[in-house]
Amino acid sequence: MDQRDFKPSARRKARRFVLQGLYERQLSGNPVHEIEARCRADNDLRKTDVLYLSELLQGVVREQETIEAQMQEHLDRKLSELTPIERAILSVAGYELLYRLDIPYQVVINEAVELAKDFGASEAHRYINGVLDAWARQARAHEQSAR
């Protein structure tokens, strides 16, 4: 699939696979290249934006320190107290807020909330929404003021 011709559903699937990969990495410590290779081998990725999957997975791991430092500024608890799913969702969304300025912050937040509804604890989506709303006000102030 050409990166320019992505469909929102293809990106949504990519985010789901990245979430699962980051969750695995947190629990197992497996190298990101192994996680990505296993994901490609074990799943039907025909309707997935695989270029975006790779960018997100590699990018979140590469920029983890920066993402988590900024994330911590908006949390009401220590990073270590987040569930692995919350941490992975916030990492994906954080990468998109910081490095994918072509994706509107509202889309970033909405996609993260949907992931939290599907994979997180019963009220995780509310927490994710609150953290990302505050983070977007800081990281995307230019975008919000343009509205």
Q: Which residues contact 14 (CB under 8 A, 6 or more apart)?
A: 48, 49, 50, 52, 53, 56
Residue 6: its pLDDT value, please? Answer: 62
Task: Give alpha helix (H) positions in the chain.
Answer: 8-28, 32-42, 50-62, 64-72, 84-99, 105-119, 124-139, 141-146
Q: What tens digit of pLDDT does each residue of 11-60 get? A: 999 999 999 999 999 999 999 999 999 999 999 999 999 999 999 999 99
Domains in the chain, please, with CATH?
3-146 (1.10.940.10)
Q: Look-up: residue for tokens 């430092």?
A: 69
Give the C-alpha separation, 20 to 52, whole Å: 15
Q: Which pLDDT band holds residue 138 (cuts at 50, 70, 90)?
A: very high
- Cβ atoms within 10 Å, residue 79: 13
Residue 33: its pLDDT value, please? Answer: 96
Q: What tens digit of pLDDT does each residue of 78-118 get? A: 999 999 999 999 999 999 999 999 999 999 999 999 999 99
The whole model's pTM is what? 0.92
Q: Which pLDDT band holds residue 5 (cuts at 50, 70, 90)?
A: low
Question: Position 53: which residue type?
Answer: L
- Cβ atoms within 10 Å, residue 89: 32
Residue 3: its pLDDT value, please? Answer: 45
Q: What tens digit of pLDDT does each residue of 58-82 get? A: 999 999 999 999 999 999 999 999 9
Residue 63: its pLDDT value, please? Answer: 98
- Per the prediction, the chain carries an average pLDDT of 93
